[in-house]
Amino acid sequence: MLDFLSNKVHDESRQGEAFVPFAHEPNQCRKRFYIESYGCQMNFSDSEIVASILNGQGFGATPNYEEADLVLINTCSIREKAEQTVRKRLTEFKKLKQNKPGMLVGVLGCMAERLKSKFLEEEQLVDIVVGPDAYRSLPALVEEAETGQRAVNVLLSRDETYADISPVRLDSNGVTAFVSIMRGCNNMCSFCVVPFTRGRERSRDAVSIVNECRQLFENGYREVTLLGQNVDSYYWQASFISPNGGKPGTQSLLIESINKNEKISTSGDWSADSSPVGGSRMGGVTFAGLLEMVAQISPLLRIRFSTSHPKDITDDVLHTMKQHENICRYIHLPVQSGSTRILQLMNRTYTREWYMAKVNRIREVIPDCGISSDVIAGFCTETEEDHQFTLDIMGSSRYDMSYMFIYSERPGTLAQRRYSDDVPAETKKRRLTEIVGLQNRLSLESNKKDVGTTFKVLIEGDSKRSPADWMGRNTQNKVIVFPKNGYNLKKGDYVHVKVSDCTQATLLGVIEHKEE
């Protein structure tokens, strides 16, 4: 926990997770591939895209890298610890190759562009290097590497969103799924490598997003999380040729199709960023509009999203959340620091006062909204006064939980080029300890307030501690554990649970009744 995390949320329990093979293998596979993923939810989502591309070329998945013909690691550059882990794994795979010469090893994702020369030439750890925007070229790169050539494609794209590729769900519980709605980032926070490793921001077309979410619902999924580096800046411009000569707006037209339970065509009628002959330029789809479209699929489909940038989340988004019960009352709103001076050095484009006003506005429109955050300890030149400002804003915002990390300088960022990483390590650790201690108290206080309250909970599976208990989440994204008690329930069911006790991290409850 002593590294820096940007606005990309890392699930520590999934780090190094391997792709689980398809339940029913559709191919008579000529070769097997193995994917190991590190980093944020976007990386795991990308691994699902890669698996789909390889499967389409006749590759089958294996959870055992020793039997794989192609071993891939999807990498993260946000945290130094992740890079160290990847290097260790690549060294292990290199040793394995000595006994299996035909095996290929490749690096995918954010480390690819920055370290391609070291991996391919200096250290000779890998055969293939592929950046986040070049996954379509992976089959061709594999063929090239099979001839003994070092294969690399790390070119960034201004338009690649993989909208037409149906991801293969990794190790899925069959209830919750991630859906990527955009790629890249334009924010240029001084500490962050994402704009350099994932390129400029571009939004995926709303038609393919809605169709993917509908397909997931029809396949039994009951929750989707819309993913992007900054979902609130989502914007898709489209043109539509109306068959009856009318000119409805893009959002209203899509919502009308959704209400009719129609699968929306992704060809012919729609054209992104163009105005076809006979058609006309329509209004674009904002993030608030996209949320409404996905919410209209079914009231049984829950919608979450991550991550929000404080400068971009709008009242339209908040009111859309309020209007639709199936859009979860939860916002991850990274603050990073409570000091306006440090926020300016970070290029976060908001002040302490502006951020606090945004939190107050969220609670005004959605009083029961859960809020979480990211907090960095020890950014360049941070003083004790700056640190106290951070503790103060955490207390004022009353976060339900936070991702808290020590600042770790990343090569190539503006902060690395312009500022000195001058806060001593021991000072960083002490400040982080104080931040974590405060958040632990805030989390426990928040959970204690929920004791006696009944929540609608989506069952995700058995509790990790006991198969006699269910585990699920409420709309505020809090984990609730409760006894099965002989009820005829299954994963994906909604149930009303009354909270009877809590820990710092978990609500404990009992079933009141099943959702009808």
**pLDDT over 70 percentage in the chain:** 84
CATH number assigned to the domain comprising residue 237 = 3.30.750
Total domain count, the chain: 4
Task: Answer for the pair 141, 151: CB distance below 8 angstroms, yes or no.
Answer: yes
CB 93 within 8 A of CB 105: yes
Q: Rounded to the nearest 5°, which phi and psi values hold at 142?
A: -65, -45
What DSSP state is assigned to residue 327? B
| 374 domain residue, yes or no | yes
Residue 268: the pLDDT is 40
Is the pLDDT higher at 15 or at 51? 51
Asked if residue 161 belongs to a domain, the reply is no
Structure tokens belonging to residue 154: 């790390």
Residues 82 and 119 in one domain: yes
Same domain, 183 and 266: yes
The whole domain housing 237 covers 172-303
β-bridge pairing 238-240 and 202-203: unpaired
In this structure, the answer to whether residues 337 and 467 fall within a common structural domain is no
Per the domain annotation, does 321 fall within a domain? Answer: no
pLDDT score of 161 more than 70: yes
Q: Is the pLDDT of residue 412 over 80?
A: yes
Same domain, 43 and 148: yes
pLDDT bucket at 147, cuts 50 / 70 / 90: very high
Tell me the per-residue pLDDT of 277-296, one tens digit each, with 9 for 90 and over. Answer: 222 334 689 999 999 999 99
Q: Which of 174, 162, 184 is nearest to 51 (CA)?
A: 162
431 and 485 assigned to the same domain: no
| pLDDT > 80? residue 275 | no
CB 302 within 8 A of CB 282: no
Note whether 421 and 471 are same-domain residues: no
Q: Which pLDDT band holds residue 255 (cuts at 50, 70, 90)?
A: low
Q: Which of 405, 431, 449 is the last residue of a domain?
A: 449
**Rounded Cα–Cα distance for residues 303 and 316 (Å):** 16
The most confident of 84-93, 198-207, 254-263, 367-376, by mean pLDDT:
367-376
What φ, ψ does residue 18 adopt, rounded to 5°?
-95, 150
Inter-axis angle of helices 206-218 and 287-295, to 10 degrees? 30
Shared domain for 437 and 467, answered yes or no, is no
Q: What is the CATH number of the domain that holds 356?
A: 3.30.750.200
